[in-house]
Amino acid sequence: MTDLAFLHARRSVPSRQLGEPAPDEATLRRLIEAALRVPDHGKLVPFRIRILRGDAKLAFGRKLAKIAEEANPGLSEAKREKERHRYEHAPLVLVVSAKIDDDSKVPEIEQRLAAGCVAYNLLLGAQALGYGAQWLTGWAAYDRDVAKLLGMKKSEHIVGFIHVGTPAMEAPERDRPSYGDVASVWEP
């Protein structure tokens, strides 16, 4: 693709539509190394990535479902089922987190944005390599018990779960805002 066509073609592939194969170890390393090339004020490296796949990914999903059920005893059976199977579809899930340095002169928002840029670069990189990906959050991204399950300290916060795999179908296009919807010229 030339010019900006690659960005115009960017789409999220629903995690339920992502299957094997996922990137192999060498490709995953290349993807992550490329994703780390983000603006990083103060060179704090305020991001981390946890790799979930195989049995570990499934065990994480089961533990996450248990946390959801314990926190919400009245959870409907349909929602329990959704929680139980949330991590069974895509063969690879990358958990991106922001590791906030409260003692830094760099504002927290900039540290979080750097981590968000890593997550977005993972989406773009997966697409560039021929894979599909979807950035998901949901309750688990904001739950401290989930963060503890992943070994995160109090200063670390989940930015998103990046589900990666081979698309079973072409990703659907959705309505996008137009230039006129979001851009304006400021004049004094």
Which residues sit in the known binding site for FMN?
10-12, 37, 41, 135-137
Answer yes or no: are the C-beta atoms of 31 and 129 closer than 8 Å: yes
> What are the E-state strand segments in the chain?
18-19, 47-53, 92-99, 132-136, 156-167
The single residue listed with the structure tokens 């329990």 is 80
Task: Label residues 129-168 b or e (16+ Cβ within 10 Å = b).
Answer: eebbbbbbeeebbebeebbeebebeeebbbbbbbbbbbbe
Q: Binding site: residue ranges? A: 10-12, 37, 41, 135-137
Question: CA 157 to CA 152: how far, in whole Å?
Answer: 8
Q: Which amino acid is at 13?
A: V
Other CB atoms within 10 Å distance of the CB of residue 188 = 2
Question: CA 125 to CA 103: how far, in whole Å?
Answer: 32
Reference 94, options 149, 61, 129, 48; nearest CA is: 48
